Amino acid sequence: MSSINLVDLTSQIEATVASTTDLQENEADRKRLLQACDQLRKELKSPFEFTLRTVFAKAGSTSHLRGYMPQGYASIAVRLAIDMNLFNAVAQHSESSSEGTVTLSQLAETTKTDPLLVSRIMRFLSALGIFNQIEQDVYASTPLAAAYISSSPLSAAVIHVTHFFMVLSQLPAYFHGKGWQNPNNVLDGPFQYATGTKSHYFDFLAGEPYYQQAFNTVMIISHRRQGQNWFDFFPVEEKLGGVTNDSDALLVDVGGSQGGDIIAFQKQFPHVRGRLVLQDLPIVIEAIQEKEFPAGIEAQGYDFFDEQPVKGARAYNLRTVLHDWPDAQARQILARLREAMAPDSLLLINETLLPESKIALSSAQADLTMMVSFAPLERTKAQFERLLNESGFDLVNVWMPQGFTASSAELASQATLLEARLKGSSE
Ligand X SMILES: C[S@@+](CC[C@H](N)C(=O)[O-])C[C@H]1O[C@@H](n2cnc3c(N)ncnc32)[C@H](O)[C@@H]1O
Q: Which residues participate in catalysis according to the annotation?
A: 323
Q: Which stretch binds ligand X (CB under 6 A): 97-105, 110-118, 143-151, 257-265?
A: 257-265
CB of 321 to ligand X, least distance (A): 5
Q: Which stretch binds ligand X (CB under 6 A): 76-84, 96-104, 236-244, 299-307?
A: 299-307
CB of 320 to ligand X, least distance (A): 4
Is residue 336 at the binding interface for ligand X, with CB under 6 A as the rule?
Answer: no
Residue 95 exposed, middle or buried by CB count within 10 Å (0-12, 13-18, 19+) = exposed
Q: Which of 189, 190, 255, 274 lies at the binding interface for ligand X (CB under 6 A)?
A: 255
Is residue 210 at the binding interface for ligand X, with CB under 6 A as the rule?
Answer: no
Q: Give the binding-site size for ligand X (rule: CB under 6 A).
A: 19
Is residue 305 at the binding interface for ligand X, with CB under 6 A as the rule?
Answer: yes
- In the bound state, the residue with its beta carbon closest to ligand X is 255
Q: Which of 167, 321, 337, 354 lies at the binding interface for ligand X (CB under 6 A)?
A: 321
Of 36, 25, 412, 30, the C-alpha closest to 227 is 412
List Cβ neighbours of 295 (8 Å cut-off, separation of 6 or more). Answer: none
User: What torsion, rounded to 10 degrees, do the Cα atoms 12, 13, 19, 25 define?
Assistant: 110
Q: Which of 131, 202, 233, 265 lies at the binding interface for ligand X (CB under 6 A)?
A: 202
Q: Which stretch binds ligand X (CB under 6 A): 178-186, 226-234, 280-288, 399-407?
A: 280-288
Q: Which of 257, 345, 391, 414 lies at the binding interface for ligand X (CB under 6 A)?
A: 257
Is residue 118 at the binding interface for ligand X, with CB under 6 A as the rule?
Answer: no
Q: Which stretch binds ligand X (CB under 6 A): 28-36, 78-86, 303-311, 362-370?
A: 303-311
Give the nearer residue to ligand X in terms of CB position, either 88 or 320. Answer: 320
CB of 349 to ligand X, least distance (A): 11
Q: CA 274 to CA 307: how far, in whole Å?
A: 21
CB of 281 to ligand X, least distance (A): 5
Residues in region 258-277 near ligand X by CB under 6 A: 260-261
Is residue 281 at the binding interface for ligand X, with CB under 6 A as the rule?
Answer: yes
Is residue 122 at the binding interface for ligand X, with CB under 6 A as the rule?
Answer: no
Is residue 304 at the binding interface for ligand X, with CB under 6 A as the rule?
Answer: yes
Of 350, 324, 316, 347, the C-alpha closest to 232 is 350
Is residue 355 at the binding interface for ligand X, with CB under 6 A as the rule?
Answer: no
Q: Which stretch binds ligand X (CB under 6 A): 49-57, 161-169, 296-304, 395-403?
A: 296-304
CB of 305 to ligand X, least distance (A): 5
Is residue 256 at the binding interface for ligand X, with CB under 6 A as the rule?
Answer: yes
Q: Which of 163, 314, 319, 336 lies at the binding interface for ligand X (CB under 6 A)?
A: 319
Give the nearer residue to ligand X in terms of CB position, either 290 or 427. Answer: 290
Is residue 320 at the binding interface for ligand X, with CB under 6 A as the rule?
Answer: yes
Q: Which of 148, 231, 280, 299 lies at the binding interface for ligand X (CB under 6 A)?
A: 280
C-alpha distances (whole Å) from 241 to each of 305, 378, 425 are 29, 31, 19
Is residue 303 at the binding interface for ligand X, with CB under 6 A as the rule?
Answer: yes
Q: Which stretch binds ligand X (CB under 6 A): 94-102, 106-114, 181-189, 252-260?
A: 252-260
Q: Across-strand partners of 84?
A: none
Is residue 367 at the binding interface for ligand X, with CB under 6 A as the rule?
Answer: no
Note the residues at the interface with ligand X (CB under 6 A): 202, 219, 222, 255-257, 260-261, 280-281, 284, 302-305, 319-321, 324
